[in-house]
Amino acid sequence: MGQTITEKIFSEHAGHEVSAGEIIRVDIDMVIGNDITTPISIRAFEESGATKLAKPDNFCIVMDHYIPAKDIASANQAKISRDFAYKHDLKYFFDEKDMGIEHALLPEKGLVVPGDVIIGADSHTCTHGALGAFSTGMGSTDISFAIITGGNWFKVPETIRVELVGKPSEHIYGKDIILELIRILGVDGALYKAIEFTGEAVSHLGMADRFSISNMAIEAGAKSGIFAVDSVTEEYLKGRSDANGGLRAEPKIHYSDEDATYCREITIDVAALSPVIAYPFLPSNGKSVEQAVADDIKIDQVMIGSCTNGRIEDLRIAAVIMKGKRVARHTRMIVTPATQKIFLQAQDEGLMEILINAGAVVSNPTCGACLGGYMGILGDGERCVATTNRNFVGRMGARTSEIYLANSAVAAASAIAGRIVDPREV
C-alpha cells in the first residue's frame, strides 16, 4: 500500500514502514525553543536530574517574543534561557546579536532541511513543513523530554490532501489560499491531521507563500502542513547553503505514492480567489475583500510582519503599493521584518525608506505585536488589519479590539486608505 510524505518521513526515522494511526518513538532532528517557552523546558530538564543534552547540536533557542525585554519580568525570563545556553555552550543560540522570529530564522540559517522531524514549543512550528519536513508544535515538557533523550513519541497522523489548481491572479498570495482552506475546514477540521499541499498551482508559489500556508495549518487544527520538494525548494536551499556555509544536514527527500491513502481530499481553484479577509474572532471567519469593502471597515492600525508574513517578499509588496503615498491620518502602521537579514535586505533595496516616508514605524524582529505582548498593543475598540496568523478575542491587546487577517497587499493599501480596501483597485 502506498504512503504519504508524512508516513515516509516517519518510516525513515523509525527504521521500518509505518502507517497513519501507529504510535512510534523516533529521534528528533531539530528541537526549537524560544524565550517564552524554553524556561519551562529548562525547569523540567533540571528537575529530572539530567545534566547534559542528548544531542546539543539539535537544540536551538531563539529569543524572539519579548526581545529586547519589555519589562523586568521578561528580562528575567530571558535570562533563564541565556544562562542555560551559555552553560551548555549551545551552538544554535540566537539572541539580539543575530535575531529573528524563529520560524523565519531557522530556514534562513539552513537549520531545517527536507525529511527532518522537527518539534518546537510554539504552535507555528508547522511552518517548516514548507521545506518537505514533518514539523509540529509540542508542549514545553515534551521539549524537555526530547532534549534529554534525543527523541519523542508520535501518533503518525492521517493526511488531508489539498490540490491547488489554476494560477493566482494579481495580489493573491499564500495567505489567501490558507485563509480559504481554513474557511472550508473550520478551526478544528484537521485536528491531528497532516495537510499535504499538491497540484499545478504549487509551481506558482514561491517559498514565502509556502511558508505562510504551512504556518497557518495549525489554525485548522492540523498537526502539520507539508509541501513536496520541487525546483523552487531546491533553489531556496541552494541559497541557504551559499549564504550560511552549508545546510545543517543532507536533505532526505520524499514524495507521496500515487496510491497513498488520504482521509480527505479538497480542491481549491486559486485562479478564482479574491483576497481573503478573516474577520474577528476566528481565522476561519473568511470573507472576500469585496465584502470587506462593502462593509466600510475603518481601521486604527496596520501590522505587516510575524512568522506568517514578515519576509522580504511581504515588504516588497507593501513598498510597491505605498511608494509616494502616506498612511491615513487616523491610522498607525507597524512593519516588523522577520529577521535581521530581511531588515538589512529591505534597507539595501530601498524598501525601508519608502515605508518610513509613507508613515510606517519599523521595529526589530519580534513576535511582540502579533501576540499582544508589546510593540503594537491595541486599545479598547480599536481595529487592526494584520498579516499575522490569529485574530482571537484580545489577541493583540484589549478584549474589545478587532483583528482582520489579510495579505500584505491588502494591509498596505488599507493603511493608506484608513479602511479595508481592495489592493487591485488602488
pLDDT at 249: 82
- Cβ-contact 41, 61 below 8 angstroms: no
All three cell numbers of 112? 531545517
pLDDT at 242: 53
All three cell numbers of 226? 507539508
- Grid look-up 512510534 returns 24
CATH topology of domain 277-425: Aconitase; domain 3 (3.30.499)
Residue by residue, pLDDT tens for the chain (426 residues) are 799 999 999 999 999 999 999 999 999 999 999 999 999 999 999 999 999 999 999 999 999 999 999 999 999 999 999 999 999 999 999 998 889 999 999 999 999 999 999 999 999 999 999 999 999 999 999 999 999 999 999 999 999 999 999 999 999 999 999 999 999 999 999 999 999 999 999 999 999 999 999 999 999 999 999 999 999 999 999 877 655 567 888 899 999 999 999 999 999 999 999 999 999 999 999 999 999 999 999 999 999 999 999 999 999 999 999 999 999 999 999 999 999 999 999 999 999 999 999 999 999 999 988 989 899 999 999 999 999 999 999 999 999 999 999 999 999 999 999 999 999 988
Whether the domain at 5-268 and the domain at 277-425 fall into the same CATH topology: yes
pLDDT digits (tens, 9 = 90+) for 228-281: 999 999 999 987 765 556 788 889 999 999 999 999 999 999 999 999 999 999
- Helical (H) or strand (E) element with 106: helix 102-108
Determine the Cα–Cα distance for residues 50 and 287; give it in Å rounded to an integer. Answer: 50
Amino acid at 198: T
Handedness of CA 417, 293, 397, 306 (dihedral sign): negative
Can you give the pTM of this predicted structure?
0.94
Q: Could you confirm whether domain 5-268 is CATH 3.30.360.10?
A: no
Query: Other CB atoms closer than 10 Å to residue 348's CB: what's the count?
Result: 9
Determine the Cα–Cα distance for residues 99 and 196; give it in Å rounded to an integer. Answer: 30
Determine the Cα–Cα distance for residues 414 and 330; give it in Å rounded to an integer. Answer: 12
Ramachandran angles phi, psi of 329, nearest 5°: -55, -40
Give me the residue spans of the domains in the chain. Answer: 5-268, 277-425
How far out from the chain centre does Cα 68 lie? 21
Determine the Cα–Cα distance for residues 112 and 92; give it in Å rounded to an integer. Answer: 12
How far out from the chain centre does Cα 321 lie? 24
- Cβ-contact 94, 48 below 8 angstroms: no
pLDDT digits (tens, 9 = 90+) for 113-159: 999 999 999 999 999 999 999 999 999 999 999 999 999 999 999 99
Query: Long-range contacts for 230-237 (Cβ within 8 Å, ≥24 apart)?
Result: 230/202, 230/203, 232/203, 232/205, 232/206, 232/207, 233/114, 233/130, 233/131, 233/132, 233/207, 236/107, 236/131, 236/207, 237/110, 237/113, 237/114, 237/131
Residue 4 Cα distances to 95, 216, 265, angstroms: 37, 20, 13
In terms of C-beta density within 10 A (0-12 exposed, 13-18 middle, 19 or more buried), how is residue 270 classed?
buried
Give the neighbor-by-neighbor strand order of the sheet with 301-305.
286-288, 276-278, 402-405, 383-386, 301-305, 332-336, 361-362
Determine the Cα–Cα distance for residues 391 and 393; give it in Å rounded to an integer. Answer: 7
Determine the Cα–Cα distance for residues 270 and 91; give it in Å rounded to an integer. Answer: 42
Ramachandran angles phi, psi of 255, nearest 5°: -130, 145
Residue 138 Cα distances to 19, 92, 121, 268, angstroms: 21, 20, 5, 29
Question: Is 278 strand, coil or helix?
Answer: strand
All three cell numbers of 387? 498579516
Length of the chain, in residues: 426
Determine the Cα–Cα distance for residues 43 and 292; give it in Å rounded to an integer. Answer: 47
Non-local CB neighbours of 223 within 8 Å, separated by 6+ positions = 126, 136, 157, 192, 193, 194
- Cβ-contact 5, 156 below 8 angstroms: no
DSSP string for residues in 122-154:
SGGGGGGGGGT-EEEE--HHHHHHHHHHSEEEE
Identify the CA nearest to 415 among candidates 270, 269, 303, 251. 303
Determine the Cα–Cα distance for residues 12 and 224; give it in Å rounded to an integer. Answer: 18
